Amino acid sequence: MMTDKLARALGWTSLALGAAQLAAPRAVTRLCGVDDAPGATTVARLVGGRELLHAALLLGAKNPAQWAWTRVAGDTMDLGVLGRAAAGRTGARRTRALAALGAVAGLTALDAACARGGTAKTKGPLQVRASITINKPREDVYRFWRDLQNLPTFMVHLDSVRTINQRRSRWKAKGTIVDLEWEAEIIDERAGDLIAWRSVPGTGISTAGLVSFTDGPAGRGTVVDVSLEYGAPGRKLAAAAVARMFGEHPEQQVRDDLRRFKQVMETGEVVRSEGSPEGHRARRQLHQRPAQPIGGRA
């Protein structure tokens, strides 16, 4: 698709801009006419780091055009900074600031067109799928997951899951900018085989998921397959793209969660260095509240 090709070209542009701002921040600030501003080189390095994040998103995604909104958000900030710089300067610095402002405005138009194209071709919510094989019997793996209050032991973005009744639960998660809270309900369940759930409309975010449990090859271990859906197209997708600049990509997050789940099931804890907050957190939760059978809780 042309929009994806444009998105990848913009990703390479972000990579080049980010590398330049990190390697030669003084030259960049001079080129933009802001080299006389206090802390200009520090800001240039920060913007360079942001550009590298843009590059990672646009060059690493399967459908990169839908993540071009991250560059639009960055462009908006840059236009504001350069606009103030041009208004507050005279002579050669003003000329350079206006030239930089024009260049960023041109890139903003490309970014916005790419982002709109990526959003337009997205017909449904963001879908994520991942799987892992765990060296434990299927019944044990299913039982641990079905006790939903165990989920924060390996899903590090979750603060807590509190069961309300046999079907409904209350979830709290730490977002990159704001904390999130919503209710979810189980919509399908086959003991030992699968659990499907969705968020309750009007209680917070929009999400749905399914986890299945099957015997591994030659009957060894358990294959855990997770499918998730996040949000909806359009404005919600754009907001997710901006949020993704500051956090982990959903696909990577699910893969990491499953890797930690495997460690919890096989070793009883998440293996992390002493300085890792998520390792401490997982060990603390496991020690404080061991898993219980499905009959022990609603």
pLDDT of residue 251: 76
Q: Tell which wins on pLDDT, 296 or 98.
A: 98
Q: How would you label 134-160 residue by residue, b for 16+ Cβ within 10 Å and e otherwise?
A: bebebeebbbbbbbbbbbbbbbbbbee
Give the per-residue pLDDT at 238: 43
pLDDT at position 62 is: 74
Whole-number Å distance between alpha carbons of 172 and 235: 23
Beta bridge partners of 230: 126, 207
Q: Beta strand pairing status for 194-199 and 180-190? A: antiparallel
The fraction of the chain above a pLDDT of 70, given in percent, is 78
Give dist(CA 156, CA 278) in Å, integer: 6
Grouping H, G, I as helix, E, B as strand and the rest as coil, residue 282 is helix
pLDDT in tens, 226-276: 998 876 444 444 444 434 433 456 778 889 999 999 999 999 876 654 444
**Contact 122/255 with Cβ under 8 angstroms?**
no
Q: What is the H or E stretch that residue 250 is in?
A: helix 250-267
Q: Tell me the whole-structure pTM to 2 decimals.
A: 0.52
SS3 label, residue 288: helix
Identify the weakest region by mean pLDDT among 134-138, 181-185, 228-232: 228-232
Q: What are phi and psi of 225, to 5 degrees?
A: -120, 125
